[in-house]
Amino acid sequence: MSSIPMTIVLIPVSAYLLGSIPFGLILGKIFGSGDVRAEGSGNIGATNVARVAGPLAGILTLLLDGAKGAAAVLLAERYSNGSAMWMIIAGLAALIGHCFPIWLKFKGGKGVATAAGVYLALSPLAFLAGLILFILVVGFWRYVSLGSISAAAAMPMLLYFLWAPHHAPPPVITFGALAVAMLIVYKHDANLQRLVNGQEPKFSFSKKKDAE
C-alpha cells in the first residue's frame, strides 16, 4: 500500500480513536463518583465532571481532553510532513471522536476542550486569544456554555488574523475552523435554548445536580 492511502486511512482513524477516549467518565470513576453521566448534565466534559466529582477531576478532564486534540494534530503534522490539510482533518476527527465516541454508543461530550487542544497545536496565538475571550465571557456572565460558544464562533476569525505575521491561514484551516464552530454550536443546542429561556445554570465548582 502506498503512503498516500495509508495517510488517508491512518490519520483520521487514529485521531478519531484518540479523541474517543472518555477521560471524564474514567476520572469520575477513579475519583469515586461513579458514572458522571448519571448526574448533573449527564455530560462527560470537564464542567460536569467538576460538578459531580470535584474541581481536581474537572481540571484533569479538561487537560486530558485538550491533550487529545493537540496530540492528534501534532501526530498528523509529523506523519504528513506538516500538511495543514491533514492537521485540520486530524483535529476534526479527534473532535468527532470526543463528541461521538464509539465506546459510548456515540454519545460523548461537547468538544470544547478537545477543540482548544486542536487550536493550541495549530496556532498558539489564536488559541490564547480564544482563551481570553472565553475567560472574559465566563467571568462576566458565569455561563460556561456561552463562553464556549463565543470562543468557538470567534476562532475562524482569530485564526485568520493571528495565523502568522502578514499571512492568512490556508483556506482548509479556515473551513475546518468553521466546521468545528458549527459542531460545537450544535452540541450546545440545549444550552442555547436554556440561555434564551433564562434557565441555564451558572457555573460553580460545587457538587450539585444541575445541567451544564
pLDDT of amino acid 177: 98
Q: Is the distance from CB of 194 to CB of 158 less than 8 angstroms? A: no
Does residue 140 lie in a domain region? yes
Does residue 91 lie in a domain region? yes
Residue 4: which pLDDT band, with cuts at 50, 70 and 90? low
Tell me the residue range of the domain where 157 lies: 3-197
pLDDT of amino acid 110: 96
Residue 103 has pLDDT above 90, yes or no: yes
Write out pLDDT tens, residues 145-193: 999 999 999 999 999 999 988 899 999 999 999 999 999 999 999 999 9
Residue 212 has pLDDT above 50, yes or no: no
Does residue 205 lie in a domain region? no
Does residue 207 lie in a domain region? no
pTM greater than the 0.95 cutoff:
no
pLDDT of amino acid 195: 95
- Angstrom CA distances, 160 to 36, 37, 88, 157, stand at 37, 37, 14, 5
Q: Is 193 exposed, middle or buried (0-12, 13-18, 19+ CB in 10 A)?
A: exposed
pLDDT of amino acid 5: 63
Residue 58 has pLDDT above 50, yes or no: yes
Does residue 186 lie in a domain region? yes
Does residue 189 lie in a domain region? yes
Does residue 206 lie in a domain region? no
Residue 9 has pLDDT above 90, yes or no: no
pLDDT of amino acid 210: 41
pLDDT of amino acid 8: 73
Does residue 143 lie in a domain region? yes
Tell how many helices (H) and how many strands (E) occur in the chain: 10, 0
Residue 211 has pLDDT above 50, yes or no: no
Question: Comparing 206 with 127, which gets the higher pLDDT?
Answer: 127
Least confident of 109-113, 157-161, 207-211: 207-211
Residue 208 has pLDDT above 70, yes or no: no
Overall number of domains in the chain: 1
Least confident of 6-10, 140-144, 152-156: 6-10
* Secondary-structure breakdown of the chain: helix, strand, coil percentages, each rounded to the nearest 5: 75, 0, 25
Mean pLDDT calculated for residue range 131-150: 96
